[in-house]
Amino acid sequence: MEVKQAHDVEQYIFSRWIEEELKPREGIHLSDLDLCLAPQTRVLKADLTWCPLGDIKVGDSLIGIDEHILAPKGRRKMRESRVLSVRRRIAEGCFKVVASNGIEVIATPEHLWLTSARTQSVTGWRSTDKLVPTHGGSSQLAYALTPWDTDLSWEAGYLAAAFDGEGHVSNLPTSSPQIGFAQRPNEMLETTRTLLGQKRCSEDCT
């Protein structure tokens, strides 16, 4: 991860764009701070489409994450979150954060990131100006998803119909979540397998 001052980048920043509908807790709540990102930053909506932050409106539903762990030995969870307020401002002294996966995000110094140290599993919130670049014992960003573009092709529509009708999701404690598809040997099964291969999706047939 690389963190550098963003002198030659757009300084028009969206601020206080989302507040999770969770009961306030003691201490500083994230919504009390100016958590600012550039308007071109893509955010995930509840309908699983990605949208530039500058296009978000009050009332939109986004995918958020728990600010705090809600139970002892528990984990943060993604939750549907409703946008309560939106405002714009000019922000100076912004940083461009470049992650190891190539994602670049422009943020104000006080914007908070969910991070952990390379040698620790404990996560916490750290402001942009406190992130540690790769050459200094890097901060590990808790980056859940890489943005994708919506596929509107005929092939994508066929696969969507196949998995809507015959698909399932497995989330066993001993393995990562998996998407499955049940079908007897027939033309639909072969077409689905062919299209999955074209989309570079791995499969395990049983």
Mean pLDDT lowest among 26-30, 63-67, 115-119? 26-30
For range 145-172, the mean pLDDT:
88
166's tokens: 């015959």
Mean pLDDT lowest among 58-62, 94-98, 199-203? 199-203
- Provide the percentage of residues in the chain whose pLDDT is more than 70: 74
Q: Whole-prediction pTM value?
A: 0.67
| Residue 90 burial (10 A CB sphere; 0-12, 13-18, 19+) | exposed
Distance CA 179, CA 177 (A): 7
Alpha helices (H) along the chain:
154-166, 187-198
Q: Given this model, what pLDDT does residue 52 score?
A: 92
Q: Given this model, what pLDDT does residue 117 score?
A: 59
Is 70 exceeded by the pLDDT of residue 196? yes
Which residue has 């309908």 as its token pair? 47
Cβ pair 1, 139 in contact under 8 A: yes
For range 17-42, the mean pLDDT:
54
DSSP result, 25-49: -SS--GGGS--EE-TT-EEEBTTS-
Cα 53 to its chain centre, rounded Å, is 13
Is 50 exceeded by the pLDDT of residue 126? yes
